[in-house]
A and B are shown apart, each in its own frame.
Chain A
Amino acid sequence: MQNQDISDYCIEQLLKAGADKAQCIYSSGEKKELNVDAGEFSLFRTNANHGISMMVIKDQKKGSLSINKIGKDDIDEAITTVLNMAKSSMADDAYDISEFQKAESFSKGDAEPALDMMYDRMEEFMEYSADTFPITIIEQAILDFTAGNSCYRNSNGVSYNEKEGSYSFSAMFTSKDGKDTSSFNSAGFSSLDINFPLHTGGSINRLLKESAEHVRTKVIPKKFTGDIIVTPDCIMSFMGFILGNLSDFRLIAGTSLFREHMNKQIIHESLSIHSKPLSDKLSGGYFVTSDGYKAEDLTIIDKGILQSFLLSLYGSKKTGLDKVPNSGGSLIIDTGDVPFEDMVQSVNEGILLSRFSGGSPSDNGDFSGVAKNSFYIKNGKVQYPISETMVSGNIIDMFQKVKHISSESVNFGDEIFPWIQLGGITVS
């Protein structure tokens, strides 16, 4: 069977077997991956895979199943199993599938990788890092190309086909000079092509440079309350808590801090956050949501005011809040108007926070953790790399005390973030 035939067959058979509503996604693809370990080429990996995910609703009871076997007997067995799972479950009026939309096909990226170019780019990266940062060891670097097709179908007649191919690069590194060792750090990005040196992607070159500077660190002079400048690499360590409070689980469980805050100010007015899966600036977006809607770009928070929750169809029906045709991710935070250098100059005492190693925040947003790969700032200048330094505060309070947002930003392929300067943070 062809790709779309498998999805169509599943829907047809699920309905014949008694499903009231059904959804099926068939996907197939191949990944080619080059690996470097401890500074040496080590592995070339090829993974082929395919899979079928089914969801059925019977008497408002739901079952879900996924397999990676596509023989007719395997599919028929899976159809029987998933229907029995639904029958065994508990009814919930919120279970549903997306309503009819016009059939569409989407594609982006190449179908096949430029394999020799992948090797050449990796070799160029290794030579660059060895020449420019000789004390930095590339613990692991991975460059892969993943191409795939997926076919979404449901029993309301929704039919979407997607075809994508993209590159992804990540590197993990440590610097070592004699017995002095830096903390490890990592960086990465995704892209539709590799027509540029890998070290120029995302924030890789900056973090390699900072790693080499971090082999000898100091502790801060004493505990203080001051500013932190959160780098683009570190923002999701805190922003994830805000977004988690806007998503299914917390809103359904009743533990979201923002349930009653639609159209109200929840963070500082200088912050605007968007989810733009269709943006041309992002290689890692998507066209179809996991619950069967054609994806749309949206603004989550505009000038600090909550504009949209990130609810699935189930989450929306369960909570009575609006559903948006978007599965989150593909985040873009608007840049500000202060150059990074001016931002540093405005700090009396603080730290440049490049990586945060913290415990899961409390449900109220309290957090504490270690500032990793970070620098002490005093009198408007970056002074020295730090270790054994803790930062603590409350995430919501913190994002209500934004001082500056940088005019520069970093495009990671999946998201675009600026530097954000926040005040009133305890550093010890």
Chain B
Amino acid sequence: MLNTDLNKFTSHFSAYTELRVQENRNNHISMVNGDVMGNSISSSSGVSSRVYKDGNWGFSSSPDLSDSAVEYVVKNASDNVMFMNRRQKEQCGFILPDISGHHEIDLSTQHIRNDQKQWIEFLRNIDDYIANKFSFLSSRTVVLSGLDMEKSLLTSSGSTSYSMTPRGIMYISLTMENNGEPVDLMDVFGGLGQLEDHFLDPSHFYNDIDILVAHLQKKSTGVYADAGLKDVILDADLAGILAHEAIGHTTEADLVLGGSVAGEFMGEQVASELVTLVDYANTIDEQVCPVPVYIDDEGTPSKDTVIIEDGSLKSFMHNKDSARHFDTKPTGNARAYAFSDEPLIRMRNTAIRPGKSSLDEMISSIDDGYYLMKSSNGQADSTSEFMFGVPLGYEIKGGKLGNAIKDTTISGVAFDVLKTIDMISSDMTWSAGGMCGKKQWIPVGMGGPAIKCKVNIGGR
């Protein structure tokens, strides 16, 4: 729909200019204890232009997609950069790398589209299954959420691109009571694709629901984790959030310029030699990643960024301006969430490369530790110190899984933790619904193999 030729507007470009037309479409249905609590769709579309001159950017956006509105937006962005140039002259003469590329991709579903009634029926079927089979649950929440991001881009360097990148997700959150106290657990399903690509048959999820409830029942009688530095296995969810939050952000070039600790480590051994950590652009082992990016929102063809190779810090992630600053090539990491957002340096699909161990081998190698399976949220900072919530995990005693544990937290300094990794599983799993917040929220791919390492685990 938005795959449109923007070349007719190039006569209005006066300096390095990006012109982007974009529409984001959301569908959100939530059901709480069998009642439809939310039933909404939304769309947000418009045009934006960003102009670079003498080290400053000007940006403008409008929801109006008429030719005159597009021309106004380009002019307004140019006026905005002139305002900056008039007030600040120190960066006069800066020139961005001249890179161009062309790519079109439409990942719309090939299935017949469902209407809202069918999606509500789908949710009702899922909810009925849970309510009928697990009547002891005190609360059930089931949510379907779809996001289509469709955009066309033209840059004055000659790049053109069109992409339609959808994501379809279902959340199931369940609560039961134990001795009068609520205990909850959530799981997320789906990923790249529209809702029809994942959720046509509710019975496909019955087994997943059975597993989720079994974990919840064990968690309800779980024990507090024993606080301290422990041997742990971080399953894909947690290994992915470690790669993204604690390492990935510190190696975004804008955060390196902002003082992140990774700025001091380039070329140094920052992890076990088992660790290769990559921000994948779009494909791994011929499989399309959860958030495939072929050309970024500055028109740079996207390539994999090998951040850590065999334990050594190799590269930061760049946009055009940071590549100019570091005298290197942009990596295709500039991405914007909405039409009205400017591109920022963002991760795409960040993961540790799989190793050679099996999960069973990893569990049996631990005498006293934990197998940590899910993350509830995560934060990290410029020092690579991190904290992740862990809503699901089990004790490991004598090489075997033991009791479930209550909600806990793990923390550490990521560049120290990476040095303790001594086993990496050979499989690879992406989390379904990764989102990253950095001025703008944006979908990201997070996941990986399971890793064995040492982290601090919170107790009571």
A residues adjacent to B (C-beta < 8 A): 37-38, 40-51, 62-69, 81, 84-90, 92, 115, 119, 123, 137-140, 142, 172, 174-176, 179, 181-184, 249, 252-255, 257, 314, 318, 357-364, 366, 368-370, 372, 387-388, 390, 392, 426, 428
* Chain B hits for A50, CB < 8 A: 63
Q: CB distance A359 to B408 under 8 Å? A: yes
Q: CB distance A390 to B411 under 8 Å? A: yes
**Interchain nearest-CB distance for A186 vs B (Å):** 10
Q: CB distance B382 to A184 under 8 Å? A: yes
Distance A225 CA – B411 CA, assembled complex (angstroms): 20
Distance A123 CA – B183 CA, assembled complex (angstroms): 50
Top-3 shortest CB links A-B? A359-B389, A139-B258, A88-B117
Give residues 361-383 of B contacting A (CB, 8 Å).
376-377, 379, 381-383
| B184 on the A face (CB < 8 A) | yes
* Chain B hits for A123, CB < 8 A: 87
17 contacts between A and B (CB under 8 A): A37-B254, A37-B257, A43-B59, A48-B61, A50-B63, A88-B117, A88-B120, A119-B87, A139-B382, A174-B260, A176-B259, A182-B382, A183-B381, A253-B139, A359-B377, A359-B391, A364-B183
| Per-position 1/0 for B266-277, Cβ under 8 A of A | 000000000000
| B261 on the A face (CB < 8 A) | yes
* Chain A hits for B33, CB < 8 A: 252-254
**Interchain nearest-CB distance for A354 vs B (Å):** 13
* Chain B hits for A64, CB < 8 A: 38-41
Q: CB distance B383 to A183 under 8 Å? A: yes
Q: Which of B77, B260, B391 contacts A181 (CB 8 A)?
A: B260
Q: CB distance A69 to B45 under 8 Å? A: yes
Distance A88 CA – B120 CA, assembled complex (angstroms): 8
Q: CB distance B387 to A370 under 8 Å? A: yes
Give residues 387-401 of B contacting A (CB, 8 Å).
387-391
What residue of chain A has the Cβ atom nearest to residue B265's Cβ? A179
Q: Which of B44, B259, B260 has the most CB atoms of chain A within a 10 A radius of its CB?
A: B259
Distance A184 CA – B380 CA, assembled complex (angstroms): 9
Report how many residues on chain B are interfacial, defined by Cβ distance under 8 Å: 80
Q: Which of B44, B116, B261 contacts A88 (CB 8 A)?
A: B116
Q: CB distance A360 to B382 under 8 Å? A: no
Q: Which of B39, B60, B138, B377 has the most CB atoms of chain A within a 10 A radius of its CB?
A: B39
| B76 on the A face (CB < 8 A) | yes
| B297 on the A face (CB < 8 A) | no
Q: CB distance A252 to B37 under 8 Å? A: yes
Q: CB distance A369 to B35 under 8 Å? A: no
Q: CB distance B57 to A390 under 8 Å? A: no
What residue of chain A has the Cβ atom nearest to residue B59's Cβ? A45
| B342 on the A face (CB < 8 A) | yes
Q: Which of B61, B115, B141, B409 contacts A359 (CB 8 A)?
A: B409
Q: CB distance A68 to B46 under 8 Å? A: yes
**Interchain nearest-CB distance for A10 vs B (Å):** 15
Q: With A358-B387, A360-B377 in contact, do A368 and B409 touch (Cβ < 8 Å)?
A: yes
Distance A357 CA – B57 CA, assembled complex (angstroms): 33
| Per-position 1/0 for B70-104, Cβ under 8 A of A | 00000011001101100110010000000000000
* Chain B hits for A81, CB < 8 A: 41
| B108 on the A face (CB < 8 A) | no
Q: Which of A183, A255, A362, A428 contacts B382 (CB 8 A)?
A: A183
Distance A220 CA – B387 CA, assembled complex (angstroms): 18
| B36 on the A face (CB < 8 A) | yes
| B6 on the A face (CB < 8 A) | no
Q: CB distance A388 to B181 under 8 Å? A: no
| B335 on the A face (CB < 8 A) | no
| Per-position 1/0 for B39-51, Cβ under 8 A of A | 1111111100000
Q: CB distance A90 to B175 under 8 Å? A: no
**Interchain nearest-CB distance for B251 vs A (Å):** 14
Q: CB distance A388 to B456 under 8 Å? A: yes
What residue of chain B has the Cβ atom nearest to residue A38's Cβ? B257
Q: CB distance B385 to A388 under 8 Å? A: yes
What residue of chain A has the Cβ atom nearest to residue B458's Cβ? A368
